[in-house]
């Protein structure tokens, strides 16, 4: 059944996970649609519009793999009225959902290739959808080695600590973690991700794709470093989640040049971004 692009459907919160402390205040919500068609079909990289009843609506990137159709997962940083109200909700509360919207990470086109995921903070959330899809046992044989460089402000700000052991145990994978400043008992990297790429990632010029997501300044710094190394713009993939708005490109707030992030994105290759104004 085709979902209505404009009418939210009722969903129930079935699990809430506090990901970080009060500094960043990120929570992960597991949701389930209520009604005759509870299956929410989507692709890695797409997003949904969530309504907190009586408060408002906001876009959120999907953090779950489409391979798991039992629940819808989003990770939310408290930044405004809607996200603050959502953070007050708990298991059993109801919200409205529209979607999915936007394009997706081109994981199907990148089969047989090596994939490198580089994330900063909550930028790991949309990548989680693609990571879990690529590492799914049913799909793992379709892809080459997976590398990750995950950046967080501090150990307390690390996301998905319950996923990390599973990811580390996956076949043919190499994961590096970094934080902004040294701290006691931290045994991994220290420093911003763009300064670690050359030393901590086995950068492949041909036959690899680089998925990058994080704060805009981090995305730009990482992309510049990858270009310096010789990675081609077409092999760098990012998502402009910060520019998502109504989901349909109707309000115009997601407009960048001749493209609408809600309709044409949020996923773009850097090659595509080069043809757009430098507003991302």
Pairing mode, strands 236-239 and 267-269: antiparallel
State the binding site: 246, 251, 254, 262
Could you tell me if 213 and 243 are in contact, meaning their C-beta atoms sit under 8 angstroms apart? no
Could you tell me if 204 and 152 are in contact, meaning their C-beta atoms sit under 8 angstroms apart? no
Distances in Å between the alpha carbon of 239 and those of 61, 62, 224, 264, 267? 10, 12, 16, 11, 4
Distances in Å between the alpha carbon of 38 and those of 48, 73, 177, 234? 15, 14, 36, 37
State the binding site for [2Fe-2S] cluster: 246, 251, 254, 262
Assign 123 to helix, strand or coil.
Answer: helix
Assign 105 to helix, strand or coil.
Answer: coil
Q: How far apart are CA 218 and CA 245, in angstroms?
A: 21
Two structure tokens written together for 129:
């959808």
């Amino acid at each position: 059944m085709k979902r209505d692009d404009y009418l939210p459907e009722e969903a129930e919160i079935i699990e809430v996970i506090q990901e970080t402390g009060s500094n960043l205040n990120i929570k992960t919500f597991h949701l389930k649609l209520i009604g005759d068609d509870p299956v929410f079909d989507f692709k890695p990289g797409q997003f949904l519009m969530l309504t907190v009843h009586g408060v408002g609506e906001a876009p959120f990137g999907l953090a779950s793999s489409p391979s798991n159709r039992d629940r819808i997962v989003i990770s939310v940083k408290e930044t405004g009225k809607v996200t603050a109200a959502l953070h007050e909700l708990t298991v059993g509360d109801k919200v409205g959902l529209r979607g999915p919207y936007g394009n997706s990470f081109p994981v199907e086109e990148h089969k047989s290739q090596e994939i490198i995921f580089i994330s900063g903070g909550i930028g790991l959330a949309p990548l989680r959808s693609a990571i879990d899809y690529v590492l799914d046992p049913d799909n793992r044989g379709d892809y080459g080695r997976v590398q990750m460089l995950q950046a967080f402000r501090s150990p307390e700000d690390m996301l998905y600590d319950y996923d990390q052991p599973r990811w580390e145990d996956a076949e043919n994978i190499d994961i590096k973690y970094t934080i902004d400043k040294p701290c006691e008992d931290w045994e991994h990297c220290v420093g911003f991700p763009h300064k670690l790429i050359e030393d901590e990632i086995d950068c492949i010029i041909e036959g690899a794709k680089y998925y990058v997501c994080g704060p805009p300044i981090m995305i730009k710094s990482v992309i510049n470093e990858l270009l310096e190394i010789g990675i081609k713009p077409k092999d760098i993939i990012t998502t402009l989640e910060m520019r998502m708005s109504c989901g349909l490109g109707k309000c115009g707030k997601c407009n960048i040049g001749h493209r609408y992030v809600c309709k044409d994105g949020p996923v773009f290759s850097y090659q595509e971004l080069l043809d757009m104004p430098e507003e991302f």
